[in-house]
Structure 1
Amino acid sequence: MASSSTSTLTPPKKYDVFLSFREEDTRCGFTSYLYDALKRKQILTFIDNELVRGDEISPSLLKAMEESKLFVIIFSENYASSKWCLEELVQILECRNNNGQIVVPVFYFVDPSHVRNQTGSFGDEFARLIEEKALAMDNVQSFRSALKDAANLSRRGLGKSELQSEFVQKIVRDILNKLSEMPSSHTMDLVGIEARLAEIDSLLNMESQDVSLVGIWGMGGIGKTTIAEAIWTNIHTQFEGTFLQTLGKN
C-alpha cells in the first residue's frame, strides 16, 4: 500500500468523495443509493444537505471541495438547467487543475456526447437557462468549456437495460480502486514514513486469504499510533467492515 510522495503544499483532505448532482433529479433516488453504498464502505462522503441554493457557491462549500480527494459528478437530464450545478462544476474542475484531485463523471440516463456538445434535451435545458438567466457570454463560455472537459474524462454511464443497484456497485468499486492508489494524508509531512508503511504492508500480505495479526512495538512517542492510523486509512475501504481503536499510553 506504499504510495509515492506528495507535495507538502497540498492541503490535507477531510473527505474521500464530494458528490455533485442536481437536487430535483436524483437526490431521492440514484444519489441517495450511491451515498448509502459509499457509507457502507466507510468512504467519507460530502453531500450538500442545504435544500435552498442561491446563485453563489458558499465559502463552506468551496472549503469542502478543497478538502475532498475525489469528485463524483452526476449528470442527469436537467443538470444544465441549474446555474448552481454549472457553477459547482466549474469550481470542481478548477480544483482538479490546481490540486490534482480526481473527477469521476457519471451519466445518469444522459448521452455523454450531449453533455460534451450541449445537444439533445440536455442542450435544450442549457439553452433555456441561458435565456432565462440572461447569462453573460463569459459565463456561457465557462460553462460550455466545463461541460466539454468533464464529458471527455474517463466516465461511467447507466444503460437502459442495467440495474441501478449494479451500476452503483460499479461506481463504488471504481472509487475504491482510485482511493487505494492515493497517498494517505497521514504521510504527507512525515519524513521516512513511506518506507515503514511499505514494510508493514508486506507483512500484512493482503493477497492472502489467511487471517493475519501484526503488532507494532516500540517505546512511546516514536509514531506507532500514527503508522497504525495511516495503514488503516490506506486499506480499510477494501473490507466490508473495519474497526479502529487506539489504546491509551502504557
Structure 2
Amino acid sequence: MLQVIGAFEKLKYMVECTSKSNGNKEILPIFLDVEPDDVKLKTNLYRKTLSKCQKSEAKSWEKALIEVGKIKGWNLNKDESQVDLIQSVIEAVLDKLNDIYKNVTEHLVGVDDRVEAIIKILDVESDSVKFLAIHGMGGVGKTTLAKVIFNQLSSRFQGCNFLSDVRESSEQHGLVHLQKQLLSEFHDSRFVDKIKEVDDGINMIKRVLHNKKISHCS
C-alpha cells in the first residue's frame, strides 16, 4: 500500500508541475498493466486503496489520477508488442522536442570553444538578467551559434523562445507581431491575441514574465 501511495504522490506532483508550466511541460502516460478506466477511478482497482487514506489526501490523488486518465497515452495491454510501444513513445517525444529544439548542421567544426565561452558569460545559475549580443559579418554563423547555445540551455529555464529574423519580421509585420510571437510561448493565446498596441505588449510582457526564469534568443 505504501508503494501505491508513493506513486499517487508522485503523480500529483507531476500534474501540479504541468499545470504551472504554461504549456511547457506535458504528461505522456503509459498504462502498464492497468486500463485508462482504472486510472479514471471507474473501477475498484485504486478506489479500495484511496478509501483507506485520509480524505484530504485521497481527494488530491483522485483529482490527479482522473486528470491523467483523460490524457491519450499508450496501453501496453493493447499494443502489439513492447518494442512497438517503445518505438512509438520515442517518436512522440522526439516530435515534441523538435518543436523546441532548433535544427543545426551536424558535426559543426570550431563552435565548441565559442559555445563554452558564451555559456560561461551567461552564468545561467545567476538570478540576474543577462543580455548578450553576438555580432559579425553576415554568413559567419551567428544564428547557428545562437541555436546551439539555445538547445543546450533551454532545459534549465521555465520557458524558452527563439525568434529568428527579428529585423525583417519587425519591418514587415511591426513590433506588435514580435511581441505576440514572444508571449505565445508563455501565455494563453486568447490573451496574447488581444494585444493591439506596443504599449499593450510591453505591459503584458512585464506581467507575464515577471519573476520567471526564461531564455530568449533573437
Q: If the length of structure 1 is used for normalisation, what is the TM-score?
A: 0.41
More strand by share: 1
- Larger RCO: Structure 1 or Structure 2 (Cα < 8 Å, ≥ 6 residues apart)? 1
